[in-house]
Structure formats: structure tokens, C-alpha cells
Amino acid sequence: MTDTTLSGHVDHLVVGAGFAGLAMAIKLDEDGERDFLVLEKGHDVGGTWRDNTYPGAACDVPSQLYSYSFAPNPEWSMSFSPQPEIQSYIQRVAQESGTLDRFRFGVTMLDARWDERAQHWQVSTDAGDLTATTLISGAGGLSEPRLPDIEGIGSFAGQTFHSARWDDDVDLTGKRVAVIGTGASAIQIVPELAKVVGHLDVYQRTAPWVIPRNDRHYTALERFAFRHLPGIQRLYRTAIYWGRECYVPAFTKEPRLAAPAQALALGNIARAIKDPELKAKVTPDYRIGCKRILISNAYYPALASDHVDLVTDRIARVTPTGIVTADGTEREIDVLVVATGFHTTDQPISHHIHGRGGRSLGETWARNGMAAYKGTTVHGYPNFFQIVGPNVGLGHSSMVFMIESQVAYIRDAIATMRRDRYAALEPRADVQERYNADLQDRMEGTVWSAGGCASWYLDDHGRNTTLWPRATFTFRRQTSAFDVQAYDVEGPRTDRTDRTTQTPEEIPA
């Protein structure tokens, strides 16, 4: 399954073996495109779900929807799956797919450069060099942890680790622990830590909206039906999908429609927290949905525990023994847990991909912010496809749905290249510009731009380059067929004289 030496040429090179990379591999194989490799720097498939093993890790999208449509899982134990079950599911799908012989684990892509004359990608890895006709990134937006820029954090003498790099060898029993951050990972970690630590400090910069987690175990009858009556499971999935789509207008059109969700969140606070001062600290001062809405039944009760303190004063610095806040208070700790999220608007892999003229994708995006055509292709980077690229993320539903949509689009692009003997293609600059101008226009008036908060959805230019501002079925429709008229294409010759530009009568935004 693992070859430590790479060389030669492949038709398709996929980077990453999470939900995206695995789906791409399976569908390439189904299409008869069997000359491909999947590079994965980790030791196994799974991506985010392989790496995030912190206590309490679970999905906040229902299990039936957070899985491949082509690989239903009748064995989910709960309506919201814990991390071990999701990882086991991905491993099983990978094993049953018959594609693992083309996965290379423990291999990191160091650099990829477009060779204009040869019309292929030259790729360097820590296991050798190779070339590829197409380069497909499945690295994802939640793969590289973001560390906080806090004075002295490197001087802390105790154990420090990011939530996505959890150290299971550290015994937290009876310890003094600090958690920096109150995002999706933190609200799952805090209740679990509160059960075992001696004292817990939770450092909050902005209070999140947290609604109840309506989780439950599937009954034996339900699981029997899922195994033997697959139509029942499809019905569950369909109902959950359309239920989630009902949230879209509250995010994108009329934020006041989220009032019931805000009432649920306020009720969640009222049930668990009686202390007026703590209640004020955890009550957000911005419109619900502006930042990611979180789900938990245990977070607020944990904060209300006698041995847990919610600290809202700004962190001034970290010392070898603790954390000092702006008011001068130093709180001593034994272990520091950093739950400060990921690089989302500056995807690290972009700095390793060099297109026409040698410019890295990271440099291109640094100038104007992340932008792609249909979140998948980028002008100036021929034969490059990105799954979970700019403006593909969701605040309400399953990313697996979006991944499958992009995989279908890429499959059709590859089929078009093979049928029409195109050596290279890239989206036209004017088409990409118009597409992204329309996206940003649609962002105006959404809760993400008018909700009164700062979030990881926004880049340094203040633009939302992470989320999809429409219904997911609209994205599925846009990516249902490859629109070659929106692309510059090159024939099979290795010189630039064969380059042609398709002139569309109409290119949908």
C-alpha cells in the first residue's frame, strides 16, 4: 500500500486522503481512469477525522448526511456520529473500494510546478519526483492548525498541544488546564476535560451561539431497517437534507428568520447557568449565524461547574508557569490546550503550487483573496482542480454533499479532456472574475457580512472567501456538467500555438 520511492508519470495526482481525496480516487477508478496516485502525508485515510482525536470529538452534521451517497452506512450508532465511528467508516469505504494500492501514505508534496512546454505538472515530494497530467487537491480547509500569536507561548514549561494534534500520552487527571478558544472543537473538549481535571480555565475572546444537540442513539429496529431496507435509510437522508436546506434563507436572505434558533440558544444558556455574571459572559452580542452556530448540551453545564472558570480578559502573555491577562492576573497551569482553529482563508498547500510564470497560488490569492471558478479551478493554473476550494464551505449542511458535487465536475472535465484530446485547460479570466463578483454581491446582506461579528469566514480583505452563499442544490446544479465554453483549452501539441479560446454564447454565473 505504501511505496517509499516515487518516479515516472501518472495521469492524475491527488493530494490528500480525507473524504475528498478518497471520493476522487473511487470515482476515477469507476471511470476507468486507473493511472492515478493519492499522496497522503499521514499514516492512514481520514484527513480531519484521522487527526482530530481529542476527547468528545464528534460531527455536528447528522450521520446520515455526513457520509457518501454512494456508500451508506447502516451501522451508525447515533444521529450525530463520534469521531471513531466516522474514521472507521472512511477506513471501511477505502478498504472496500479496491483503490488503496494507489495510495502512498507518509508522503508529503513539497512543490508542484506547471511545465508549459510539456503541459504537465512537475511534482516534488519527500519520496521522489514525478509528473502528472492533472493535479487534484483534496487537502481541505481544516487540515493545518492555526496557532495563536501570543507573546511567550513558546516559553511555557508544561505540555502544550493544539486540539487537532491531541497528545493522548498526557494524563490530565487532577491537573490545572487552560483551553484557549471557544469554537467548535473547544465546546466538545471542555465538558470532557471538566470531568477529570483539577481546575479548568477557558479563555474566550467572543462568545459563541450554542444551540441544544438533539442527539440520540438509533434503536435496534432502525438499524435493522437500515441494513435490510436501504430505501428507509435513503428516506432519512433525504429528510435531513431538506430540513437543513430550510436554514439557508436565514443565513442568506432574511436573518430574522433565525429568531427561533436564537431563542433555543438563549434557552440553552438559561437552563444551565444561573449566575448573572457568567450568563452575561456567554451571551453573544451579535446576530446568530454570523459565526458558526455550535451544538452542545454539555458545554454550558461544564462552564457552570465550581472548578471551571470562563476568562474573558484579553491574554497579554504566556509565562513558563501560566497565563497573564491584560488586568495583570496570572493563572498558573500545568497543561495548555490550544483550540484556535485552522488556516482557512490562507490554505497552506497554495504556497506549494506554482502555475504559469512560476507564481504560487498562495501569491495569487494574497493579492486579492482566495478565488476560484466554481470553487474548483483557477485561471493561470492549468489542469489544477481543488476540492473544497474557495467559497465552497457550508454553515448549515454536509460538506460531503459539496465534495461529491465537485468530484462529479472534475470527472466530467477529465472525460472532456480525454474525448476532445485537450492537453490543458483553465478557466477564462473574465469568467472567473464574473463568477466571483457575483458571489461577493450575494454575500451582501447575508448574516455573515451584516451580522456584526468577525469570524474565520472572512479574509484579511474583509471578504467571505470560505462559504457558499446559496442553497447546496444550486451548487450541485452548477457543477453537474463541465462547461468547457468557460475555459481556455490547449490541444495535444506541446507548443503554445495550438491554444484556443472558446467563446460562449452564454456562461452561467
In this predicted model, what pLDDT tens digit does every residue of 253-281 receive, in sequence order?
A: 888 899 999 999 999 999 999 999 999 99
296 falls in which pLDDT band (50, 70, 90)? very high
Q: Are 119 and 55 in contact (CB under 8 A)?
A: no
Say what the pTM is: 0.93
What's the whole-number mean pLDDT along residues 409-425?
97
Classify domain 153-208+247-338 at the CATH class level. Answer: alpha beta
pLDDT at residue 466 above 60? yes
Residue 342: per-residue pLDDT: 65
User: pLDDT tens digits for 20-63?
Assistant: 999 999 999 999 999 999 999 999 999 999 999 999 999 999 99
Strands (E), 54-182: 103-105, 109-115, 120-125, 128-137, 159-162, 176-180
Query: How far apart are the C-alpha atoms of 1 and 273, rounded to whole Å?
Result: 52
Q: What is the mean pLDDT of residues 194-204?
A: 98
* Span 87-115, average pLDDT: 97
Please indicate whether the domains covering 9-144+344-501 and 153-208+247-338 agree at the CATH topology level: yes
DSSP state of 230: H
User: Could you tell me if residue 330 is left (phi over 0), alpha (psi between -120 and 50 degrees) or otherwise beta?
Assistant: beta
Average pLDDT value over all residues in the chain: 92
Please give the share of the chain, as a percent, with pLDDT higher than 70: 94
Q: Which residue matches cell numbers 480525507?
A: 18
pLDDT at 504 over 60: no
| Domain 9-144+344-501 in this protein, CATH class | alpha beta
Where do the structural domains in the chain lie, given as residue ranges? 9-144+344-501, 153-208+247-338
Report whether 103 contacts 80 (CB < 8 A). Answer: no
CA distance 240 to 347: 30
Residue 384's DSSP bridge partners are: 135
pLDDT at res. 500? 41
Nearest Cα to 20, choosing from 404, 478, 466, 480? 404
Query: For residue range 330-389, what is the model confidence (pLDDT) as tens digits?
Result: 999 999 999 987 666 678 899 999 999 999 999 999 888 899 999 999 999 999 999 999
pLDDT of residue 62: 95
- The confidence score (pLDDT) of residue 345 equals 62
Angle at 22 between CA 130 and CA 67, to 5 degrees: 165
Of 165-174, 399-408, 445-454, which range is least confident? 445-454
Beta bridge partners of residue 487, listed in sequence order: 427
Judge whether residue 493 has pLDDT over 60. no
